[in-house]
A = this chain, B = another copy of it.
Amino acid sequence: MTQHQQALIQLTAVQAAAKLSAREIAAVEYLEAYIEQIEAVNPNINAVITKNFRRARQEARAAQKTLNRQQTHGALLGLPILVKDNQLTAGIRTTQGSKLYEKHIPSKDAGIINRIRQAGGIIIGKTNIPELSIGANTVNTLFGATCNPYSETLTCGGSSGGSAAAIATNMAVLATGSDHGGSLRIPASFCGVIGYRATPGIVPNEERTINHTNYSLQGPLSRNIADAGLLLSVISQRDRSALDDPMAFPLDSHQFTSLPELDPKQLRIAFSEDLGGLLVSNEVRSLFRHRISQMSGLFKVCHKHPVDLSDAPATDWALRQDVFATQYYDQRIKWGADMNPNVLSTFDAAVKTPLLDIAKARRRQIELYRHFTRIFDEFDLLIIPGVSIKPFPWAQPYPQQIDGRKVTNYMSWLGLSSSLTVVGHPVVAMPCGLDKQGTPFGLQLVGRPFEDARLLSMAQAIETAFSRIPSLTKPLSPYS
């Protein structure tokens, strides 16, 4: 890889889009730099499991023609993008990380993919996920494991692990992910990138199997907030497929590309290390406290908050059964004993659960919402750790214990993210330096529902402030 190519893949998406428009860089050379990077790095990381280089090259040439004519064009024209393998791509294999769909080539793009293409984005490949995208470790029997960009033996998190690891190692300028209980946020935290879970309904999802829900949500992964805003401004557009999503309320998508500048000194920050007693490792608690002490001076106020979501993980477990039952009730019959045990255990629990148990959880969900949302009467932002533990070896399906406390299933260590799914508030996962083992440490920044542009503005102000404090930044991945 040439020095020029190295410089190209360091550009942010916003910078690259501007340089492409100004014809300071060419779409074809820009794409080739990313292809080189994938060829060089992916054998170690295994994030990109299907390549789409031939068509990408055609599209880059076509993009260059549009750029040469100086026509008005979509916001992503010429940007190489990787997309999660649970999102349908016309003509490109979409496996869901499962042998069941090993050879599935969809005839139609998912809405999110179509919006990216319509905006000129170039899909360069698909990224790895756990089977059916369930679990916070990106390993499956079809493609194996995706590695952490800072350590090949450790997990990148999941389920959008391939996308997060690819962004951290500069294999694409932007990537897509999705999130039930943390699937955008956990890999973002473990890989040191931005993952954005918007308010439900911001990103239309015409494939969802349930009318209204905080689950089954799609979003951007990127290297910085402005880039996340750029991709969000495209995937949140109300195109024709958005008509198939009953949650897609009227929205001006442009707001996410013109985030107002904010002074962090105006921000009133609440923080909590465990949301009221959720399972969080001592190591993460201690590092989080240290990070808070480092950053607290940046803000107007920075107070510990007594928020209590202690029964949100149990609520999530019940609501999750509801989602699984809706999504898979007619597919269970196709699954063999080798199906992802996370999927099997959740679905099989759902079959046995009486409606009343789910009803109690649904009732509790809205009570928790009303309790939680009061935070934002007094504070602009809630900050909590990204994940309860540091990245663990990917050879383990999930951590078996945390500080001697047994982890009972694939979700019970993920309360810090799944609890926020229960309430449904928008969340930015963003990096905040490294942990002791040299892997990224992440934060979750939570805002008020529907105030997504404001949340991104606040996150951007914090990102800028962190960039001036060496221990709150992190070195690039050795593979980037």
Contacts and interface: CB of A to CB of B under 8 A. Distances in A.
A365 B212 CA distance: 10
Identical chains in the assembly: 2
Nearest to A451: B250
Given A201-B249, A366-B246, A373-B243, A359 B322 contact: yes
Contact of A366 (B211, B243, B249): B211
Contacts of A363: 209-210, 326-327, 329
Contacts of A369: 211, 244, 246
Given A354-B354, A369-B211, A424 B362 contact: no
A353 interface: yes
A366 B210 contact: yes
A353 B355 CA distance: 6
A360 interface: yes
Interface residues of A, number: 44
A450 interface: yes
A213 interface: yes
B450 A250 contact: yes
A469 B359 CA distance: 50
Interface in A238-258: 243-244, 246-250
A246 to B, nearest CB: 5
Contact of A212 (B209, B211, B353): B211
A351 interface: yes
13 contacts: A201-B249, A206-B370, A211-B212, A211-B214, A212-B212, A243-B373, A246-B449, A325-B356, A325-B358, A326-B359, A326-B363, A329-B360, A350-B355
Given A243-B376, A325-B359, 7 more contacts: A201-B249, A211-B424, A212-B247, A246-B449, A351-B354, A351-B355, A358-B358
